[in-house]
Amino acid sequence: MKRRNVLKIAAAASTSAGAGLLVVGKDSGASGASGAATGQVAPAAAGVGEGSGELMPGMKGMAGLPGLPAAGAVTPPPAVLTPFVDAMPRLVDAVPVSTTADTDHYATSIENSYVQLAPGKPTAVTSYGGGFIGPLIRAQRGRKVSVTYTNNLSASVVVHLHGGHVPSPSDGFPTDELAAGASRTYTYPNLQRGATLWYHDHLHMMEAVNVYNGLHGVYILHDPAEDVLDLPGGRYDVPIFLRDAYLDVDNTLYYDPTLTWTALLANGKARPYFPVGQRQYRFRLINGSNHRTLTLSLSDGTPLVQIAGDGGLLPAPSVAPQLALSSAERGEVLVDFSGYPMGTQLYLEDSVLGQILRFDVTETCPPEPRKAALPATLAALPALKHPTNTRDITLSLSADTNYFYINGKVFDPNVVMASIPVGTTEIWQVTDISGWEHNFHIHLVQFRVLDINGAPPGPSMQGLKDTVPIPANGTVRLQATFSDYPGKYVFHCHLLEHASFTGMMARMDITA
Ligand SMILES: [Cu+2]
């Protein structure tokens, strides 16, 4: 469907839409939007997409698009959430339904469900497997995973493994739909380095709404190459899926990206606590927010020791007071609680929204085996190959349509913007001329950031990456090798509202 047609249809529909309740989860969130398109401006704050005007200058013209509130409706008041009532749950490991010599096979239902995000009423969500965060898939490098998804919603979905190096048919091209009622098996080779990946919806023009409503989950690729580092494992290796939301007074997930979403969820609980023992932990932090950048720190100022980014281990630890993660980025940190007295409460905080998660040093745990100091180096990066092409990518804003563009174009799934022969190494020069910060994600590859506004990337950006913030009016040069898997893929802004509603996405074909 053409975007303009959707606009027309949505405009017609919105005139007859009453002031009904938002029905989150119905039709995978594709319908049921009513309520507020306020046009009101939330307080401006730091960070990508923070506050209404900063996220979407054109949102006022988009009210009524599928998933967006109808024009003129009233915003429900937000829930008043008491922090640190609930414990942060551990993500639930998916259990294979079968295994063969080289593959673990999983089956997951995509369904409407109710979950308890905060005390009070349960929240209607769209889910992988019934929970707010989908089943945690633990893959082993070199061993395939296949997942059969059965779509029990009444609308199509698309499943994408973010950061995965996977063949095109399993990558989740936005129009490569898994229809309502159908099943489909996605296959993941797991030949890349160990990394914290995540999976989420990628349906054409609907991923922002569908991800917001709960279509997200975590996928950890374990790598025996990491064993030599003796990093915390087992129950001391904890994935933490962070995201924001707007919960109304009935705990309904209300979708209006022009509002500031102040409900901060860690593993699906609003501002929870998490008991820890006096030892070192590995926390795999995933920013699953639609568009919010999280700038994370510990409340006592202890630096965060980052050991891995999007695509796996960094070449060396990055020790800094803050760790910024834009939408979809991952950062793995080591936090050592061994020096804290029992009973200590320590907070993981965001620079804008404050406390997210409270660590309570209350657990007894076996004495930690004596460890050597953190090694100065973690994992050497593969040598950069010789690039044979430089590609210019320009991010712009149209004054006419209020759409953000990539190279002057709105996403058309049938138009190939980049045609790349398999095996090619390219430098992409990504420049923003819109005056807004975006974040740039390429499917299929883990790339290297060469420089940001001409300066080498900081230690946190030195590893393999799949998503990188592009500063307003700035340029990031990155290098990627498209080593295999011919077929169609996309690259896009990972502010999901930009990708969904303004078409800030483009198709690339890897050619045989
Ligand atoms: Cu953008």
The burial class, CB within 10 Å (0-12 / 13-18 / 19+), for 96 is: middle
pLDDT confidence of 367, banded at 50, 70, 90? Answer: confident
Q: Of 51, 55, 28, 146, give the one whose Cα is nearest residue 97.
A: 146
Q: How many CB atoms lie within 10 A of CB 435?
A: 11
Please say whether the beta carbons of 270 and 247 come within 8 A.
yes
- Percent of the chain topping pLDDT 90: 80
- Measured distance CA(282)–CA(141) in Å, rounded: 19
Q: How many CB atoms lie within 10 A of CB 98?
A: 10
In the structure encoding, which two tokens stand for residue 17, read together? 């839409």
CA angle 499, 247, 17 (to 5 degrees): 70
Please say whether the beta carbons of 56 and 91 come within 8 A.
no
For residue 55, the model assigns a pLDDT of: 59
* Mean pLDDT, residues 432-451 taken together: 96
Please say whether the beta carbons of 410 and 3 come within 8 A.
yes
Helix, strand, coil share of the chain (percent; to 5): 10, 40, 50
Q: How far is the CA of 488 from the centre of ligand 1 (A)?
A: 21
Q: How far is the CA of 55 from the centre of ligand 1 (A)?
A: 8
pLDDT confidence of 39, banded at 50, 70, 90? Answer: very low
The predicted-structure confidence for 327-336, as pLDDT tens digits, reads as follows 999 999 999 9
- Residue type for position 314: L
The predicted-structure confidence for 450-483, as pLDDT tens digits, reads as follows 999 999 999 999 999 999 999 999 999 999 999 9
- Measured distance CA(27)–CA(156) in Å, rounded: 8
pLDDT confidence of 61, banded at 50, 70, 90? Answer: low
Domains located in the chain, CATH noted:
229-363 (2.60.40.420), 389-511 (2.60.40.420)
pLDDT confidence of 47, banded at 50, 70, 90? Answer: very low
Residue at token pair 């309502």: 180
For residue 36, the model assigns a pLDDT of: 30
Q: What φ, ψ does residue 501 adopt, rounded to 5°?
A: -95, -25
How many helices (H) and strands (E) are present in the chain, helices listed first? Answer: 4, 31
The predicted-structure confidence for 270-280, as pLDDT tens digits, reads as follows 999 999 999 99
For residue 26, the model assigns a pLDDT of: 28
Q: How far is the CA of 462 from the centre of ligand 1 (A)?
A: 23
Q: How far is the CA of 394 from the centre of ligand 1 (A)?
A: 11
For residue 366, the model assigns a pLDDT of: 86
Q: How far is the CA of 224 from the centre of ligand 1 (A)?
A: 36
- Residue type for position 353: L
- Percent of the chain topping pLDDT 70: 87
- Measured distance CA(223)–CA(492) in Å, rounded: 28
pLDDT confidence of 14, banded at 50, 70, 90? Answer: very low
Please say whether the beta carbons of 265 and 243 come within 8 A.
yes
DSSP conformational letter for 169: G
Q: How far is the CA of 502 from the centre of ligand 1 (A)?
A: 9
- Measured distance CA(335)–CA(107) in Å, rounded: 34
Residue 187 has pLDDT above 90, yes or no: yes
59 in helix, strand or coil? helix
For residue 258, the model assigns a pLDDT of: 86
**Strand 438-442 with 467-470, pairing:** antiparallel
Please say whether the beta carbons of 214 and 125 come within 8 A.
yes
Q: How far is the CA of 175 from the centre of ligand 1 (A)?
A: 20
Residue 347 has pLDDT above 70, yes or no: yes
Q: What φ, ψ does residue 334 adopt, rounded to 5°?
A: -100, 130
Residue 117 has pLDDT above 90, yes or no: yes
Q: How far is the CA of 5 from the centre of ligand 1 (A)?
A: 22
In the structure encoding, which two tokens stand for residue 239, read together? 């994935």
For residue 31, the model assigns a pLDDT of: 31
Residue 105 has pLDDT above 60, yes or no: yes
- Measured distance CA(34)–CA(19) in Å, rounded: 6
- Residue type for position 99: T
Q: How far is the CA of 440 from the centre of ligand 1 (A)?
A: 8
- Measured distance CA(331)–CA(329) in Å, rounded: 7
For residue 5, the model assigns a pLDDT of: 35
Please say whether the beta carbons of 492 and 438 come within 8 A.
no
**Strand 134-140 with 123-128, pairing:** unpaired
Q: How far is the CA of 348 from the centre of ligand 1 (A)?
A: 27
Q: How far is the CA of 347 from the centre of ligand 1 (A)?
A: 30
For residue 192, the model assigns a pLDDT of: 98
- Measured distance CA(492)–CA(234) in Å, rounded: 35
Q: How far is the CA of 227 from the centre of ligand 1 (A)?
A: 38
Q: How far is the CA of 499 from the centre of ligand 1 (A)?
A: 7
In the structure encoding, which two tokens stand for residue 109, read together? 């239902």
User: How many residues comprise the chain?
Assistant: 512
Q: Of 30, 24, 484, 55, give the one whose Cα is nearest residue 293.
A: 55
In the structure encoding, which two tokens stand for residue 263, read together? 């409900």
61 vs 50, more confident: 61
Handedness of CA 237, 243, 247, 252 (dihedral sign): negative
For residue 60, the model assigns a pLDDT of: 54
- Measured distance CA(343)–CA(409) in Å, rounded: 56
Q: How far is the CA of 192 from the centre of ligand 1 (A)?
A: 27
**Strand 123-128 with 103-115, pairing:** antiparallel
Q: How far is the CA of 268 from the centre of ligand 1 (A)?
A: 25
Residue 7 has pLDDT above 80, yes or no: no
Q: How far is the CA of 133 from the centre of ligand 1 (A)?
A: 25
Residue 488 has pLDDT above 60, yes or no: yes
Q: How far is the CA of 494 from the centre of ligand 1 (A)?
A: 7
Report the chain's mean pLDDT, rounded to a whole number.
88
* Mean pLDDT, residues 217-226 taken together: 97
pLDDT confidence of 72, banded at 50, 70, 90? Answer: confident
In the structure encoding, which two tokens stand for residue 438, read together? 């975006």
pLDDT confidence of 19, banded at 50, 70, 90? Answer: very low
- Measured distance CA(274)–CA(347) in Å, rounded: 10
Q: How far is the CA of 505 from the centre of ligand 1 (A)?
A: 9
Q: How far is the CA of 401 from the centre of ligand 1 (A)?
A: 15
Q: How far is the CA of 291 from the centre of ligand 1 (A)?
A: 9
pLDDT confidence of 66, banded at 50, 70, 90? Answer: confident
pLDDT confidence of 15, banded at 50, 70, 90? Answer: very low
Q: How far is the CA of 56 from the centre of ligand 1 (A)?
A: 9
* Mean pLDDT, residues 43-50 taken together: 34
